[in-house]
Amino acid sequence: MKNNSNAYKIKLGIFVSLGLLILFVIIFFIGSNQNLFSSKFKVSTNFRNVSGLQIGAQVRFSGIAVGTIESISIINDSTVNVIAMMDKNIKKFIKKDSRASISSEGVIGDKLLIISQGSSKVAEVEDGASIKSFEPVEFDEILASIKVTAENAEVITDELAAMLIDINEGEGTLGKLLNDEGVAKDMEKTMKNLRKGSKGLEENMEAAKSNFLLRGYFRKKEKEKEKAREEAEKEAEKLKE
């Protein structure tokens, strides 16, 4: 009977020891994931809307998880304060002009805080300092904008289709013009007359240049053009030098 009691105590001790070991391992992994065992520093930022960001969410810098959200509190009716707890080794990379924004892991994944890279010439952020933020774009607003665009495109497409049908059937002013053979012939005649007119104008200009009364005027114009061209070439050479 005594041996059975001792065996029971030994088994109970082993079971408790294994339970405590598993508990310590779980605490270690959770602490490592949440950066509980490393030196920390805090940074705060304000948003009008945190878009579902929660306490314990990841903080990322350059795509790397560097901390977690410690607290989220409402300051007033238009301001929500977010405090991020981050690994102190990252502090030297986060500058005073860095900005915070809220993003999501994937299209509909968990919300997380993104810290942007600041200017290399600016000093690093101080512990407990506040940085500026970008307001998140709501997914519902994007969907509403896409919906409005799609509706407008549908209306335009319907109107274009109706207009093309009218043109093909010869209805409306444009349809009559495109389908009327008489109008096409008149346009062809007009183009021929324009060509003849332009040809006659060129001939008259050549004749005017040959006229001794106007020859001096045209020579003067030619000299002015040549002078302007030479000045332009000189300016171009100066610019090259």
Q: What is the mean pLDDT of residues 150-171?
A: 73
Q: With 60 as the cut, is the pLDDT of residue 33 above it?
A: no
Contact predicate 169/81, CB 8 Å: no
- Structure token digits, residue 26: 């779980």
pLDDT of residue 190: 75
Q: With 60 as the cut, is the pLDDT of residue 156 above it?
A: yes
- Structure token digits, residue 194: 């324009």
- Structure token digits, residue 199: 């040809």
- The structure tokens 């607003």 sit at 141
Cα 164 to its chain centre, rounded Å, is: 37
Q: What is the mean pLDDT of residues 106-127?
A: 85
Q: What is the mean pLDDT of residues 150-157?
A: 79
The model's pTM is 0.46
Indicate the residue type of 226.
E
* Confidence band for 148, pLDDT divided at 50, 70 and 90: confident
* Range name among 54-58, 117-121, 201-205 with the lowest pLDDT average: 201-205
pLDDT of residue 175: 58
* Range name among 11-15, 95-99, 163-167, 201-205 with the lowest pLDDT average: 201-205
d(CA 78, CA 82): 13
pLDDT of residue 172: 61
> What average pLDDT does the structure give for the chain?
76
In this predicted model, which residue has the larger pLDDT, 30 or 118?
118
Q: With 70 as the cut, is the pLDDT of residue 44 above it?
A: yes
Domains in the chain: boundaries: 1-33, 38-136, 141-175
pLDDT of residue 71: 92
Contact predicate 9/15, CB 8 Å: no
pLDDT of residue 179: 60
- The structure tokens 């602490």 sit at 31
d(CA 87, CA 36): 9
Q: With 70 as the cut, is the pLDDT of residue 199 above it?
A: no
219-222-226 Cα angle (round to 5):
140
Q: What is the mean pLDDT of residues 100-117?
A: 83
pLDDT of residue 45: 93
User: Hey, how many other C-beta atoms are within 10 angstroms of the C-beta on 237?
Assistant: 9
Task: Name the DSSP letter for residue 107.
Answer: S
In this predicted model, which residue has the larger pLDDT, 71 or 220?
71
